[in-house]
Amino acid sequence: MAKDILGLKPAKLWECFYELTQIPRPTGHTKEVEKYIVDFGKSMGLDTKQDEVGNVLITKPASAGMENAPTVILQSHLDMVPQKNSDVQHDFLKDPIDAHIDGKVVRANKTTLGADNGIGAAAAMAVLADNSLKHGKIEALFTIDEEVGMVGAFGLKPGFLTGSILLNLDTEELGELCVGCAGGADVNAEWEYKDVEVAPGDVAYKVSLTGLRGGHSGTEIHLGRGNANRLMCRLLKDAVANYEVRLASIDGGSLRNAIPREAFAVVTVAPEDKEDFLALVKEYETTYRNEYKATENNISLVAVPADMPATLMPEEIQDSVINAVVGCQNGVISVLTDSIFAGTVETSTNLASVKSQPGKLEVKILTRSSSETRKDEICSSLESVFMLAGAKVSIENPYPGWQPNAGSKTLKVMADLYKDMFGEESKVVSVHAGLECGIILSSTPGLDIVSFGPTILNAHSPDEFVEIDTVEPFYNYLLKTLELLK
């Protein structure tokens, strides 16, 4: 099925994207795709180099008559978010992505597609491969491990790039010209404990919450979708309070930048309370379906008999974890009100992961904000909640936002061009997602930056897709932009 995308246009872009789908490239595992990009550059006789962290830079000389044009950096990232439905057998470290045409979109088979940011990388590759284009000198920068920690961008050293204009190809709606983004930080909470014995005579159940839509914790956090971790612990709090349910293990969410879609817990309950507990689970399924009917349409919450666990969490740890998860802020915290970007999410949190193993439980939260002081405040607030619950808390991997440049000459050129090409105004935005632009700017000061791309929806979830009829206009717009940047 995957090869059917090779019939789409622009042919070279889709060919490159297909090749990328055949190379496993989850964050943290990009060596194979790095080599592919290095070989790609060298195969065309272009100057190709790689820095210490793994970023690849391919330089293409200016076309005839464009030698005096400014050097333009085309930037994209090579890694992808590995998310799949629990009923799918797919190994992101070994298996290719089954990218296929589904009506007017390209999607994968119940896994993330990797259009974020594979389409951007493929567009840059297509530009490098086409010698008929008009453009100044081009530096195509392919960064690694953007999705977790922005490792590649942080690893860039001064002098690696020489360009003065950066076109980031990682925005996900055709017609949007992005000139700013949020910064972020990770909040980690951890409990260590000694497991306790199961009460004699109790019975065990596995509680499964599935069917949520999840999505990108930056660009889709405002859509009001359910957070599986929050919803699971809400149920557990009620079950503990009313039926003395005991928690053996919990496993919810996976990646910091993906809204958690599924959560699972193994619990025990006294036999005389099991029917009431099962009724409570059913009641909460109905409640969640009613509360989220505007944003979710496939919520499933069930409890089925399970093998008796070997041990349980201590009661005080169980209660502390559940109360802290229910009590911590999650979702949109504040929106901008006094700028041209009024209505854009300013600050948010994503309760990304709640996972236990024998003797240890970890909660991971990603905070985002376009305000450094607000980011610090929400991190401090979360730290307080989890410290009061007895957890060891750390705040890690802070990264800066990208502040808009109102006087951007590149933005003016691109906004005028968009109106000429498409007969309508572009939308100038600052996004709540974390782009690499602010970090790259710190190593290469003075860059004039604009981010744009085709329309990609539901990134970071198995529902991810790219709208086919936006890819060719995006690419043609990129080519004309390169021609006009003189």
- Evaluate whether 85 touches 449 at the Cβ level (below 8 Å): no
Amino acid at 355: K
Tokens of 430: 């600052």
Residue 216 one-letter amino acid:
H
Task: Reply yes or no on whether 376 is catalytic.
Answer: no
Which segments of 97-225 are extended strands (E)?
100-102, 105-107, 138-143, 165-168, 176-181, 183-192, 203-210, 215-216
Name the helix (H) or strand (E) containing 48. Answer: strand 47-50
Q: Is 232 helix (H, G, I), strand (E, B) or coil?
A: helix
Three-state SS at 374: helix
Closest by Cα among 191, 230, 184 to 209: 230
Distance CA 3, CA 6 (A): 6
- Per the residue annotation, which of 116, 146, 170, 262 is the catalytic one? 146
**Which of the following is catalytic: 79, 238, 319, 464?**
79
Q: What is the DSSP letter of 464?
A: -
Contact between 277 and 240 (Cβ < 8 Å): no
Which residues lie closer than 8 Å to 475 by C-beta, 6 or more apart? 10, 13, 123, 126
Which tokens in the block code for residue 103? 């009506």
CA 78, CA 143: separation in Å to the nearest integer? Answer: 6
Give yes or no for a contact between 186 and 470, defined as CB atoms under 8 angstroms apart.
no
In this structure, the number of other CB atoms found within 10 A of the CB of residue 17 comes to 28
Q: Counting Cβ atoms within 10 Å, is residue 156 exposed (0-12), middle (13-18) or buried (19+)?
A: buried
How many other CB atoms are there within 10 angstroms of residue 385's CB atom? 18
In this structure, the number of other CB atoms found within 10 A of the CB of residue 98 comes to 15
- The partner residues of 74 in beta bridges, in order of sequence, read 140, 167
Active site residue 146: yes
Contact (Cβ atoms closer than 8 angstroms) between residue 175 and residue 427: yes
First to last CA, the chain: 42
Partnered with residue 47 across adjacent β-strands are: 59
Residues with a catalytic annotation lie at 79, 146
